[in-house]
Structure 1
Amino acid sequence: MRDANFLTENNARQIWHPMAHPAEMQASPPRIIMKGEGLHVTDLDGRTVLDAVGGLWNVNLGYSCDPVKQAIAAQLAVLPYYSGFRGTSTGPSIELAWELAQWFAPEGMVRTFFTSGGSDSVESALRLARQYWKIRGERDRTKFIALKKGYHGTHFGGASVNGNANFRRNYEPLLPGVFHIPVPWTYRNPFGETDPAKLADLCARALEDEIAFQGPDTVAAFIMEPVLGAGGVIVPHESFMRRVREICDRHGILLIADEVVTGFGRAGAWSGSRLWGVKPDFMTLAKAITSGYFPLGATMIGEKVAEVFEADKTAFGAIGHGYTYSGHPVGCAAGIAALAETKRLGLNENAAARGAELTTALEALKAKHPLVGDVRSKGLMAALELVSDRDAKTPADKKTMARVADAAYEAGVMVRISSNSIILSPPLILTSSDVAKIAEALDTGIASA
């Protein structure tokens, strides 16, 4: 690798970073991360900090999981790549698909379509949902409904069902036939409702109204994150997703659960759907499927959908969709090892326990600092929303947010800023002492602002 001077001089010069303005990155180059060990990362200057971002929601096993690294090395030695297109399978892809079917049997998932990541998984679910209705002969069912503030990746389909203008406006016009309803977010909602159960009912009614307005026979699917991640860790009332499932069933609409973040334990259950007691028709997976050690994703297909595809005798059942790296053997080997370690360590239970401790610590920060307007969390998904005026809920400005993040980093913890929220998604191997460290650094960061 080139020396430190070369890396510093060329930082953000040839790279355009995701979710960033190129000019801002060049004016103020980002940190250069050089090493990861356990829950910590080390930058080019040698500063080691606890990674409370978990890479990007995905490094559930931390940076030192030897079984995953060994599985990758072993697979590279025997078969570094082969196509998963028609005509060939690989051993690791067959084994991982079997494992996923066992893992998500309680959600009713029976088939796997492998992808390269979360955006691919969402795109695949949207396409397969439309195809399902073509096979069924209901070819007017092309529309999608989603939640405002939802995040579903960056492909044109995913960006279209995204419910946040930050990920939409610069790329419009997007996919036609996509509509959004209010999200059950007690801190900010158009109804002025602060009771979670009542708000869930109001949002469910909004879904009913939108379906009626569009015509139930024109709607292919509703897509939602069981717990909204990038939109600011918005946790719906426990009744909401069950109500959505009932509404979709009544109108014959498919339900897509975007589990890219919530899959594999982050919300305190093995999936967000299981957390709320719901069986969706599709589940989208990625991120923790390999703990971030290799790019891999999957779209899981429920039994009802699988039966329609597999019983079809026409060309409408043929899947004209896929990716060069679908079912990549090295990625699947990494996934097999990562899932085994995830299960062995009981990371769902640890996420629930450490998440409860983290919530208590964050609520204490809210009581201490007027800058904290709201605390939202589920398992090891958490957000602190910062405001300049609590009564008016005026969002803290960009400069304030950067000051908090920088001070927290100086205090030994990496956090992520999304709009006026501090997002926390640490590895699921987190300990109680790590929770205390995160709270201490945030206390320092907020006090500095």
Structure 2
Amino acid sequence: MKDSNFLKEMNARHLWHPMAHPADMQAHPPTIITEAHGVRIVDIDGHEVVDGVGGLWNVNLGFSCEPIIAAISAQLHRLPYYSAFRGTTNDVLIECAEALHAFFAPDGLTRSFFTSGGGDSVETALRLARQYHKLRGQEGRTKFLSLKKGYHGTHFGAASVNGNANFRTAYEPLLPGCFHTPAPYTYRNPFNETGPEKLAQLCLQAIEDEIAFQGAKTIAAFIMEPVLGAGGVIPPHHSFMPGVRDICDRHGILLIADEVITAFGRTGDWTGSRHWGVKPDMMTTAKAITNGYFPFGAVMIADKVAEVFENDTTGAASIGHGYTYSGHPVGAAAAVACLAETERLDVATNAGERGRQLYQGLQALAAKYDIVGDVRGGHGLMCAMELVSDRAAKTPIDKASIAALQEETYKAGAMVRVSGNNVIMSPPLVLTAADVDIILGALDKGFAAI
């Protein structure tokens, strides 16, 4: 590693960071992380903290998962790369597809299409949805519906179904035919409804109204996160996703579950869809599929969709889509090892238990500090606190204050993420009760400091 003084001097000089203003990064250089072990990260000055972010929602098994590291190393020595385009495949990719088939069987998902990450998976699902309807002779089904506040990546198609203007306005015009309906967000919604069940019904009715307005026969798919993640950890009422499934079935619309964040135990169940008792037509995955150790993703596909493609005799079902790294053998090896460890450690159960502990602790902090307007969580290890300067008016707190909270919390022993006026926590699923206490204690000190 280069000398620490050199690294600090060059920090953000020649590097643009995702989701950040280049000038701001130069004025306020980001924290340089140099090591990680277990659920802790270490910066260039040797300061060690509990990672309350889990990398970026993806390091479910922590930073020291030796079986994944060993699998990557062995695969690099044996077959570091080969294409999975028509005509060739690799042995570990076949093994990976079978492992995913077994894992997602309760969700009714039996086929895999491999990608390089979450945005690629969403892009793939949108394209396959349109092709599916064309194969069935319904060429007019080209539109997509999604939720406001939903996050689906930043590819042009993915950004088009994103429900947050921050990822859209600078890059418009985007993909035409994408429409957004209100999210079941009890703290802020256009209905001024705070009752979760009532709000769910109002949001479902809004979906029905939009379908009626657009025309059901023009809509290819509805894409949604089972629990909205980057939009501020927004869990719906338990009736909402089953209601969406029913609406899609009645109108011949495919349901795509974006589980790039929620799959593999994050919600306290193995998938977010399973948490609500729903079987989607397609599911996008990435992130924790390799514990963040290798860029890799997959779209999981139900028989309903697969059979239309596989029964085609015209040639129109040929998939004119793919990535150089689709089915990368090193990614596949990492995924196989990661799936085995994910199940062996039963991280979904631990996520449920530690998630309840974290959620209750955040509620206690909300009772202590007036700047906490809302606490959301209770569905595994994904929680958020929405900060306000005025509880009655729900006025979002200023950026400087929330940045200061993040900095003070980090100094006190925990890395948390800020997005808008939300403090978001998505720690590794192997977190212990003592680790949760450290996060809560650090937040307490952070709030007290500001």
Q: Which residue of 2 aligns with 1:138?
A: 138
Q: Which residue of 2 aligns with 1:447?
A: 448
Q: Which residue of 2 aligns with 1:406?
A: 407
User: Aligned equivalents of 2:209 and 2:8: distance in 1?
Assistant: 54
Q: What is the identity, as a one-letter code, of the residue corresponding to 2:397? A: A
- 2:315 is the counterpart of 1:315: yes
- 1:92 shift after superposition: 1.1
Identity across the alignment (%): 67
- 2:15 is the counterpart of 1:5: no
Gap runs ≥5 in structure 2? none
CA offsets 1:33-70 (integer angstroms, 9 cap, x no match)? 00000000111111111100000000001000101000
User: Aligned equivalents of 1:314 and 1:448: distance in 2?
Assistant: 67
Q: What is the identity, as a one-letter code, of the residue corresponding to 1:370? A: D
Q: Which residue of 2 aligns with 1:272?
A: 272
Q: What is the identity, as a one-letter code, of the residue corresponding to 1:44? A: I
Q: What is the identity, as a one-letter code, of the residue corresponding to 2:434? A: S
Give RMSD over aligned pairs: 0.6
CA offsets 1:411-445 (integer angstroms, 9 cap, x no match)? 01001000000000000000101111111001111
User: Aligned equivalents of 2:10 and 2:323: distance in 1?
Assistant: 32
CA offsets 1:327-347 (integer angstroms, 9 cap, x no match)? 100011011011111100000
User: Aligned equivalents of 1:59 and 1:314: distance in 2?
Assistant: 43
- Correspondence list, 1:101-120, <5 A: 101-120=101-120
CA offsets 1:89-146 (integer angstroms, 9 cap, x no match)? 1111101111111111111101000000000000000000000011111000000000
- 1:6 shift after superposition: 1.8
User: Aligned equivalents of 2:314 and 2:20: distance in 1?
Assistant: 45
- 2:37 is the counterpart of 1:37: yes
Q: Which residue of 2 aligns with 1:431?
A: 432
User: Aligned equivalents of 2:433 and 2:393: distance in 1?
Assistant: 35
Range with bigger deviation, 2-11 or 357-366: 2-11
Q: What is the identity, as a one-letter code, of the residue corresponding to 2:284? A: T
Q: What TM-score comes out, normalization by structure 1 length?
A: 0.99
User: Aligned equivalents of 2:388 and 2:197: distance in 1?
Assistant: 25
CA offsets 1:171-208 (integer angstroms, 9 cap, x no match)? 00000000000000100000010110000000000000
- 2:48 is the counterpart of 1:58: no
- 1:356 shift after superposition: 0.5
- 1:155 shift after superposition: 0.3
- 1:252 shift after superposition: 0.4
- 1:241 shift after superposition: 0.3
Gap runs ≥5 in structure 1? none
Q: Which residue of 2 aligns with 1:222?
A: 222
User: Aligned equivalents of 2:8 and 2:360: distance in 1?
Assistant: 40
Q: What is the identity, as a one-letter code, of the residue corresponding to 1:99? A: A
CA offsets 1:212-258 (integer angstroms, 9 cap, x no match)? 00000000000000000000000000000000000000000000000
- 1:315 shift after superposition: 2.9
Q: Which residue of 1 aligns with 2:332?
A: 332
Q: What is the identity, as a one-letter code, of the residue corresponding to 2:332? A: C
3-state secondary structure, aligned to 1:127: helix
User: Aligned equivalents of 2:396 and 2:447: distance in 1?
Assistant: 14
Equivalent pairs counted in the alignment come to: 449
Q: What is the identity, as a one-letter code, of the residue corresponding to 2:146? A: A
User: Aligned equivalents of 1:92 and 1:396: distance in 2?
Assistant: 49
Q: What is the identity, as a one-letter code, of the residue corresponding to 1:403? A: A
Q: What is the identity, as a one-letter code, of the residue corresponding to 2:387? A: L
User: Aligned equivalents of 2:354 and 2:46: distance in 1?
Assistant: 28
3-state secondary structure, aligned to 1:221: strand
